[in-house]
């Protein structure tokens, strides 16, 4: 197959092939996708399957995901790393490959936070030095909106006009009214509009003059068959007097007055309940904060007196890292450095270990992260894989926290998203070997960020991963405090 689009989107055919007389059969591969469209739900995550056949490593190949009518790639993997600066703005921070499965030829794309605009045809293209192939996959987006809200719009002659509204639907839904006997009621007006986010909102009206009716509003997503409906409870307890033949305005006045009083009462009740909850939460957070400060003071007094002078081990640093002469700071550079090949050196993973390892005791050190947009910090077991891609998680013996794309996370299994009220300028790392504990602190506020609890059975080493800024720009170095 070969590309035939002017905007870098590969449209693949099955009748055209390129043959190379000198190409060995074992160097050829086919890219397999999905014969059926992939259904993706708004706000959730979807995986676009793509696999090399026969199974072979894709680590050293170029993997490009494209989309029709978009010139920039949805995702580009090249020279063993993702090329963020080339990625289309609409997909930055939302896509990822399964790096740990590239070795077996899995080049599937994970797309987070699906939105309506993601619907369309995608191309998966893989290229080696002498061969290339691709396939196409279609995404169909669906979204089930909010529970319909039924409300009294106004009086209409001897009857009342009821409205039904809901939002967050995709594709365009179907709306229907029914009475208490599942008989369809004819709507007098229906408006279905597309909002700025591409999702549809619904507003539909009926007029009823029969007090025995208990109207129900049904909204259905025809793609998935999902349905949401709501009944108007106003008719359950009222009599036919609600539909007067003489003076509907007087009835309307008292009904609306009653509704207003009920709404005001509910508003006061929920406001008081919310204020109590806020007060209780503040009290609880204050107590927790005080405990964290006290815990931090105990750690400092316990560890600072006997912790070693923590430094970096240049022999473990990736060739794209430069370590300062005092072995206290490390930064990423754009060109590979000429360094001796060592079994303990990380390659291709861009990280470095501390010189000191720990097999017992309690230890504490601090690292400056001020002004950085991305970083990893923590500890790892000594037997961590140095030659190949590393899945950084507590399950693999890596107890770390990170900042990436403005989000703080503890890389547990699965990762834990962290909400920090104050952006840290300096991170404190506390290791209790016998206690099986690794804690991270915001040094400025003396508050606990996260704690891992595990069991250590081998030597534990500090881990540092400085990162590029978004767009490939060089970031500030990580520095260990004296």
Both structure tokens of 481: 């405090």
Q: Which residues pair with 407 in a beta bridge?
A: 404
Looking at the fold, whether 313 and 401 belong to one and the same domain comes out as yes
Q: Where are the beta strands (DSSP E) in 290-425?
A: 321-323, 329-332, 352-353, 362-368, 375-381, 398-404, 407-410, 416-418
Is the bond preceding 445 in cis, omega lying within 30 degrees of 0?
Answer: no
Q: Residue 244 has what pLDDT?
A: 45
CA 460 from centre of chain? 30
Report the CATH number that the domain containing residue 238 is assigned in CATH: 2.60.40.10
CB of 206 within 8 A of CB of 235?
Answer: no
Question: Quick check: is 35 in a domain?
Answer: yes
Q: Residue 187 has what pLDDT?
A: 85
Write down which residue in 124, 143, 162 finishes a domain: 143
Both structure tokens of 207: 């007029």
Write down which residue in 202, 223, 242 finishes a domain: 242
Question: CA geometry: angle at 359 spanning 358 and 361, to 5°?
Answer: 80
Taking only the tens of pLDDT, the chain with its 482 residues reads: 444 333 344 444 333 444 444 444 456 899 999 989 999 999 999 999 999 999 999 999 999 999 987 889 999 999 999 999 999 999 999 999 999 999 999 999 999 999 999 999 999 999 998 899 999 999 999 998 888 888 888 887 778 888 999 998 998 898 888 886 778 888 888 888 999 888 999 999 988 877 666 788 888 887 776 666 665 443 333 334 444 444 567 777 888 888 888 899 888 988 888 887 776 766 555 455 545 555 555 555 555 544 667 899 999 999 999 999 999 999 998 889 999 999 999 988 889 999 999 999 999 999 999 888 889 899 999 999 898 877 888 988 999 999 988 899 999 988 999 998 889 999 999 999 999 999 999 998 888 999 999 999 999 999 998 876 555 566 788 999 87
Q: What is the dihedral of CA 41, 45, 50, 51, to 10 degrees?
A: -130
Q: Which domain holds residue 189?
A: 145-242
Counting the structural domains of the chain, the total is 3
Question: Quick check: is 271 in a domain?
Answer: no
Looking at the fold, whether 314 and 424 belong to one and the same domain comes out as yes
Question: Quick check: is 41 in a domain?
Answer: yes
Write down which residue in 122, 143, 164 finishes a domain: 143
Question: Quick check: is 252 in a domain?
Answer: no
Full-model pTM: 0.43
CB of 325 within 8 A of CB of 368?
Answer: no
Question: CA geometry: angle at 463 spanning 460 and 467, to 5°?
Answer: 170
Q: Residue 104 has what pLDDT?
A: 94
Q: Residue 276 has what pLDDT?
A: 78
Report the CATH number that the domain containing residue 357 is assigned in CATH: 2.60.120.920
In tens, the pLDDT along 40-91 reads 999 999 999 999 999 999 999 999 999 987 889 999 999 999 999 999 999 9
Is the bond preceding 326 in cis, omega lying within 30 degrees of 0?
Answer: no
Match 């007006």 to its residue by tokens.
Answer: 189
Q: Residue 68 has what pLDDT?
A: 83
CB of 164 within 8 A of CB of 218?
Answer: no
Looking at the fold, whether 70 and 83 belong to one and the same domain comes out as yes
Q: Residue 415 has what pLDDT?
A: 92
Question: Quick check: is 236 in a domain?
Answer: yes
Looking at the fold, whether 336 and 469 belong to one and the same domain comes out as yes
Looking at the fold, whether 79 and 205 belong to one and the same domain comes out as no
Match 């030659």 to its residue by tokens.
Answer: 387
Q: Residue 9 has what pLDDT?
A: 42
Looking at the fold, whether 139 and 160 belong to one and the same domain comes out as no
Question: Quick check: is 63 in a domain?
Answer: yes
Both structure tokens of 267: 């508003």
Looking at the fold, whether 441 and 296 belong to one and the same domain comes out as yes
Looking at the fold, whether 322 and 451 belong to one and the same domain comes out as yes
Looking at the fold, whether 323 and 430 belong to one and the same domain comes out as yes
Question: Quick check: is 283 in a domain?
Answer: no
Both structure tokens of 399: 């107890």
CB of 424 within 8 A of CB of 446?
Answer: no
In tens, the pLDDT along 184-228 reads 888 888 888 999 888 999 999 988 877 666 788 888 887 776 666
Where residue 267 falls (left for φ over 0; alpha for ψ -120 to 50; beta otherwise) is alpha
Looking at the fold, whether 155 and 137 belong to one and the same domain comes out as no
Looking at the fold, whether 298 and 436 belong to one and the same domain comes out as yes
Looking at the fold, whether 94 and 154 belong to one and the same domain comes out as no
Question: Quick check: is 44 in a domain?
Answer: yes
Distance CA(33)–CA(134), nearest Å, equals 9
């Amino acid at each position: 197959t070969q590309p035939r689009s002017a905007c870098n989107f590969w449209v693949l055919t099955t009748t055209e092939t390129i043959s190379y007389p000198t190409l060995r059969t074992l160097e050829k591969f086919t890219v397999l996708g999905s014969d059926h469209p992939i259904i993706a739900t708004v706000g959730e995550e979807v995986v676009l399957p793509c696999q090399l056949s026969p199974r072979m490593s894709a680590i050293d190949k170029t993997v490009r995901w494209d989309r029709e009518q978009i010139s920039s790639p949805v995702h580009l993997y090249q020279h063993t790393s993702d090329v963020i600066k080339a990625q289309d703005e609409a997909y930055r921070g939302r896509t990822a490959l399964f790096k740990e499965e590239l070795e077996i030829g899995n080049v599937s794309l994970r797309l987070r936070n699906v939105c309506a605009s993601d619907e369309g045809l995608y191309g998966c293209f893989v290229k080696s030095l002498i061969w290339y192939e691709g396939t196409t996959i279609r995404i169909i987006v669906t979204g089930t909106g909010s529970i319909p809200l039924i409300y009294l719009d106004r009086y209409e002659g001897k009857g009342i006009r009821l409205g039904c509204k809901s939002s967050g639907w995709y594709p365009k839904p179907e709306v229907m009214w029914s009475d208490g006997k599942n008989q369809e009621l004819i709507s007098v007006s229906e408006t279905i509009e597309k909002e700025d986010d591409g999702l549809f909102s619904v507003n539909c009206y009926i007029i009823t003059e029969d007090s025995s009716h208990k109207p129900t509003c049904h909204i259905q997503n025809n793609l998935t068959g999902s349905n949401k409906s709501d009944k108007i409870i106003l008719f359950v307890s009222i009599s036919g007097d609600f539909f007067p033949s003489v003076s509907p305005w007087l009835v309307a006045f008292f009904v609306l007055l009653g509704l207003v009083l009920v709404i005001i009462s509910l508003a006061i009740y929920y406001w008081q309940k919310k204020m109590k909850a806020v007060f209780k939460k503040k009290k609880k957070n204050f107590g927790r904060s005080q405990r964290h400060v006290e815990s931090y003071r105990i750690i400092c007094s316990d560890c600072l007196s006997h912790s070693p002078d923590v430094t970096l081990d240049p022999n473990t640093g990736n060739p794209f890292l430069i370590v300062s002469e005092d072995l206290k700071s490390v930064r990423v550079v754009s060109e590979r450095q000429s360094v001796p090949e060592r079994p303990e050196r990380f390659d291709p993973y861009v990280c470095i270990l501390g010189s000191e390892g720990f097999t017992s005791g309690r230890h504490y050190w601090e690292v400056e992260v001020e002004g950085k947009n991305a970083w990893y910090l923590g500890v790892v077991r000594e037997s961590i894989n140095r030659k190949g891609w590393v899945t950084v998680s507590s399950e693999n013996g890596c107890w770390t926290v990170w900042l990436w794309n403005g989000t703080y996370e503890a890389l547990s299994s699965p990762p834990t998203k962290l909400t920090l009220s104050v952006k840290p300028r300096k991170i404190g790392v506390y290791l209790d070997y016998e206690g099986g504990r690794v804690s991270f602190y915001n040094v400025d506020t003396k508050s606990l960020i996260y704690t891992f609890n595990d069991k250590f059975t081998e030597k534990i080493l500090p881990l540092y991963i400085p990162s590029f800024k978004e767009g490939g720009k060089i970031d500030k170095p990580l520095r260990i405090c004296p």
